[in-house]
Amino acid sequence: MAVKKTRSGPSDQIKGVRLSRSQRGKQIALLRKKQITGAAYEIIAEKGYYNFTMMDIAKRAGVSSGLIHHYFKDKENMLVTLLREMQQTVRINTEKAIEEVPGPKEKLEVFMDRAFDLAEAQREYLYVTYDFLTQIKFNERMKRIMSKLYRGYRETMVEILREGKARGIFKDVDEHYTASLFISIMLGIELQYVIDSTAFLYREYTNKIKSYIFDLVLKK
């Protein structure tokens, strides 16, 4: 995910669009919230979950701390909103990439590539996600959102495997087990790489994992 802070004002974003006062107010609120959560994403990636203040976010977003409290009732509410935005962005981008290829084999490869790419192309996303994972014991809302993220990964892969089985391309594998296995391997290899990028050749290992998954599911 690449959450970017918005430097231009909301009124600049909607010039030329005929909106009612109510619609314009909602549009401004939406843009302001994204501006604030975008700044929060950057600050947490830099400082960690426990080492930032609302003033840090206000300065990065170019707004007052009072405006943040106007749109978010408290710090937790803002962070939960950010976490939802992060997961939605990853899901939407992954689904869009999958839709652009024709068959289940290609879809499975795109799905695995998108998952593995996070460790290299979106390292900050992983750092922020790991920070949020530390909260799931204490925050039920964050736990539900993280659960939805991994459930979404599994469901997407299950759908691809079922399509491949129906079309006679994949073996009659247990799609839920296979999806859970891949997600576990993906999370483990990413975590090891983020902790120590010199431990192994990331692309070499992820390519081997992809080959292993294809050996499991593809008919000879």
Question: Are 111 and 130 within one domain?
Answer: yes
Question: Are 26 and 125 within one domain?
Answer: no
Tally of domains within the chain = 2
Where is pLDDT greater, at 10 or 45? 45
Which CATH number fits the domain that encloses residue 92? 1.10.357.10
Which CATH number fits the domain that encloses residue 49? 1.10.10.60
- What would the pLDDT profile of 172-219 be if each residue is shown by its tens digit? 999 999 999 999 999 999 999 999 999 999 999 999 999 999 999 999
N-to-C CA span, the chain = 36
Range of the domain at 27: 1-72
Q: Are 90 and 125 contacting, i.e. CB atoms less than 8 angstroms apart?
A: yes
CB under 8 Å to 168, separation ≥6 — which residues? 219
Question: Are 54 and 91 within one domain?
Answer: no
Distance CA 70, CA 22 (A): 17
Distance CA 37, CA 218 (A): 42
Q: Are 48 and 133 contacting, i.e. CB atoms less than 8 angstroms apart?
A: no
Residue 6: predicted pLDDT:
40
Looking up tokens 């231009």, which residue turns up? 8
Q: How many CA atoms lie within 13 A of 111 on its CB side?
A: 25
54: closest CA among 44, 174, 88?
44
pLDDT band at 59 (very low <50, low <70, confident <90, very high): very high
Question: Are 78 and 167 within one domain?
Answer: yes
Asked if the model's pLDDT at residue 146 lies above 90, the reply is no
